[in-house]
Amino acid sequence: MKACVKLDLRKAYDTVNRDFLCHLMAAMGFSETWVDRVRECITSPTFSVLIQGIPYGFFGRSRGLRQGDPLSPYLFTLVMEYFTCLMDIAVHRERIVPIYSRVSPVVSHLIYADDLLVLLRPSMRGMRELAAVMEEFGQLSGLRLNRDKSKVYFSSSCTLKEERALELGVEKGDLPVKYLGVPLSVNYAKDRDCQSLVDFAQRRVEGWQAAGLSFGGRIELVRSVISAIALFWLQSIMVPLATIRKIEGICAKFIWHGGIHAISWEQLCRPRKEGGVGLRSLVSVREATGIKLAWRFLQGDSLWSAWMTSRYLRGRNFWVCEIDNNFSVSFKHILRNRPVLRTAMRRRMREGGETDLWLDPWISGQSLLEILGPQRDGVAYRGLTCRHIIRGGVWRPEAYRFTAPLGEEIRQVQITPTALSDVWIWAPPGRSLGAGEFRFSSCYDLVRTHFDDIEEYDLSGGKGLPGKCNCLYTNWCWAGYLLGTDCFGSEFLSLTLSVFYVRQRLNPLGTCSFSAMWRGASGQSRAGDTWEGLEGSVTSEKSLSGLVIAGARSRAGLGVLD
């Protein structure tokens, strides 16, 4: 039997007992001077209220921390550390039995700010003891349990669920449950579980007045708001493809203001130099987040990584472990990303004791077993590390009678003689090794579809122009692509000039902003400018869009590109 308890604290920041906080800091070893300074910071503020626009009175408060104060999150973390101490004592005395196996780390609870998850075996005694821990914590710290918003979730094998929930004093809930903004479930997230993400995107675009925004403005809103929230979800759970398609459809409809989609979503999601507007395809982002998850797992520096390793690998090598039906959805996703991951990683060798000699891909993304194939001379694969062929910080591949070409390739792997462990570094193709730090942009570049660079991008100057001009230029590029022939291009040119003429009909050509851009691109003088002669000045070497972009660069002081 297993249970997960989601606990909600009532008005967390506003009810912290200040005296308890100061005593706790002193018990943790903070100096008396530092404790006094913190006490002064949290007790000195006073407040006033506005009544019909007029401020009245200044009064203090006897408890709580100010929200928005940069010091408050750190002080609140210290208060929650006391809850961790109470839980650790209860687990050590076996009053509460957490969920763990013989080889996995003990995880009794998770805390993020004032959001608590407690994982335990839901015996009657365990539920009573957890209620006692929360009561003691509330009396001392001032942080009381909000029983109306707290829930307990039981596994399917658990019996007497209502009675066990009654012992804790909270209601029984049903999965999936939302935690930190994303749904948690024991199974693969379904489309209906992620409907709140679709609803969020729909509410956002309905609140924005698309008619009053430029094309570039709508692109920027999609990139900075909807895509950012979707990225948060994708880095947390496996969002179904059906949900992603719905969100992309909402974004595309908003960008084109409900009209005809002149450019497809896939083309908009290309980089600017490839003819797009720089948006990211959420389908490709979904694949990239899986690679990022696998990268974090290999780093092995987190409680999550240690728990997953002990739970699923159990002594097996990550690179050759076969996918088991008993693995979780997230771990299966990690293993499926191994082929792409090994092309973007390199092993930074130090002592060699943490690198499997035969199974780890430490030679240009390949393992010795892949290079040599299964050996028939009784070579033992297990237990051998690269330390066995390193002597004095130098490779000694002749110890295992490797062939000369392979031995030379092994010597190309650089050794950094330190007492630290071997590590994986991020080194995707086409990028310098640098510090080997992970970059999501390069991870996304690994999985997205690549296209040829467009020649017009060099003419526009790429990042030299504002985003609004780049979006307009993208529209023109695709319009020219669709028109195709010179005769259609000529008609498009005439139409464009007519539009400019209508908009500038009250201004002579020599004084309008369009003519100034045109002169900057074509080198014409102000004298003799006419609308009739303007169309004839366009040659086959430069398109209308190219001339206008070049003129805009000239006016902005960026110079005209050759």
pLDDT at 103: 78
Judge if 163 and 45 occupy the same domain. Answer: yes
pLDDT at 230: 93
- For residue range 382-435, what is the model confidence (pLDDT) as tens digits? 678 888 888 878 888 776 777 778 888 888 888 887 777 888 989 888 765 555
Q: Is residue 340 part of a domain?
A: no
Q: Is residue 287 part of a domain?
A: no
Instruction: Identify the CATH number of the domain in which residue 116 sits.
Output: 3.30.70
Quickly state the pLDDT bin for 460 (edges 50, 70, 90).
very low
Q: Is residue 163 part of a domain?
A: yes
Residue range 300-314: mean pLDDT, rounded: 89
pLDDT at 5: 94
Q: With residue 7 as reference, give the H or E element that holds it.
A: strand 3-8
Residue 521 near residue 514 (C-beta atoms within 8 A): no
Beta bridge partners of residue 9, listed in sequence order: 145
Peptide bond preceding 98 in cis form (omega within 30 of 0): no
Burial of 85 (0-12, 13-18, 19+ CB in 10 A): exposed
List b or e across 47-68, with b for residues whose CB sees 16 or more CB atoms inside 10 angstroms. Answer: eeeeeeeeeeeeeeeeebbeee
Q: 28-37, 128-137, 185-194: lowest mean pLDDT where?
A: 185-194
- For residue range 496-552, what is the model confidence (pLDDT) as tens digits? 544 444 334 334 444 444 455 445 544 555 444 444 454 445 443 344 455 554 554
Residue the block writes with tokens 């909807």: 226
Quickly state the pLDDT bin for 271 (edges 50, 70, 90).
confident
pLDDT at 546: 53
pLDDT higher than threshold 50 for residue 118? yes
Domain count, the chain: 4
Judge if 420 and 538 occupy the same domain. Answer: no
Judge if 196 and 151 occupy the same domain. Answer: no
Judge if 204 and 151 occupy the same domain. Answer: no
With H, G, I as helix, E, B as strand and everything else as coil, classify residue 18. Answer: helix
Residue where a domain terminates, one of 247, 280, 313: 280
Residue where a domain terminates, one of 260, 280, 300: 280
Chain centroid to CA 118: how far? 26
Cα-based distances in Å from 308 to 235, 334, 396: 17, 11, 35
Residue the block writes with tokens 């007029």: 54
Residue where a domain terminates, one of 408, 426, 444: 426
The long-range contacts involving 106-115, CB below 8 angstroms and separated by at least 24 positions, are 107/303, 107/307, 109/83, 109/84, 111/80, 111/83, 111/84, 112/180, 113/12, 113/73, 113/76, 114/8, 114/9, 114/12, 114/13, 114/76, 114/80, 114/143, 115/6, 115/8, 115/179, 115/180
Q: Specify the higher pLDDT residue, 136 or 518.
A: 136
DSSP state of 5: E
Beta bridge partners of residue 56, listed in sequence order: 49
**Which tokens belong to 230?**
């979707």
Handedness of CA 267, 271, 273, 274 (dihedral sign): negative
Cα-based distances in Å from 152 to 32, 83, 164, 338, 411: 41, 18, 9, 36, 57
- For residue range 31-56, what is the model confidence (pLDDT) as tens digits? 999 999 999 998 888 778 888 888 87
Judge if 137 and 22 occupy the same domain. Answer: yes
Residue the block writes with tokens 């996918």: 323
- For residue range 225-245, what is the model confidence (pLDDT) as tens digits? 999 999 999 998 889 999 999
CA distance 562 to 61: 68
CA distance 168 to 119: 13
pLDDT at 527: 43
pLDDT higher than threshold 90 for residue 314? no
Q: 3-7, 290-294, 321-325, 504-508: lowest mean pLDDT where?
A: 504-508
Quickly state the pLDDT bin for 75 (edges 50, 70, 90).
very high
Judge if 414 and 465 occupy the same domain. Answer: no
β 171-172/151-154 pair status: parallel
The amino acid sitting at 415 is: I
Terminal CA-CA length for the chain? 73
The radius of gyration computed from the CA coordinates of the chain, to the nearest angstrom, equals 32
pLDDT at 399: 65
Judge if 245 and 156 occupy the same domain. Answer: no
pLDDT at 427: 87
pLDDT higher than threshold 90 for residue 280? yes
Q: Is residue 451 part of a domain?
A: no
Q: What are residue 111's phi and psi, to 5 degrees? A: -130, 130
Judge if 129 and 7 occupy the same domain. Answer: yes
Q: Is residue 314 part of a domain?
A: no
pLDDT at 484: 47
Range of the domain at 511: 456-555
Residue the block writes with tokens 């692109």: 219
Q: Percent of the chain having pLDDT more than 70?
A: 77
Residue 496 near residue 475 (C-beta atoms within 8 A): no
CA distance 538 to 547: 8
Q: Is residue 326 part of a domain?
A: no
Q: 94-98, 143-147, 295-299, 389-393: lowest mean pLDDT where?
A: 389-393
pLDDT at 401: 72
**Which tokens belong to 166?**
């009654």
pLDDT at 110: 93
Judge if 8 and 107 occupy the same domain. Answer: yes
Q: Which residues contact 91 (CB under 8 A, 6 or more apart)?
A: 97, 98, 106, 108
pLDDT at 471: 63
CA distance 178 to 100: 23
Judge if 71 and 26 occupy the same domain. Answer: yes
> The sheet that has 109-112: what strands, in order across it?
109-112, 115-120, 3-8, 151-154, 171-172
pLDDT at 506: 34
pLDDT higher than threshold 80 for residue 380? no
Judge if 169 and 197 occupy the same domain. Answer: no
Q: Is residue 528 part of a domain?
A: yes
Judge if 125 and 247 occupy the same domain. Answer: no
Q: Is residue 25 part of a domain?
A: yes
- For residue range 477-492, what is the model confidence (pLDDT) as tens digits? 555 555 444 444 444 4
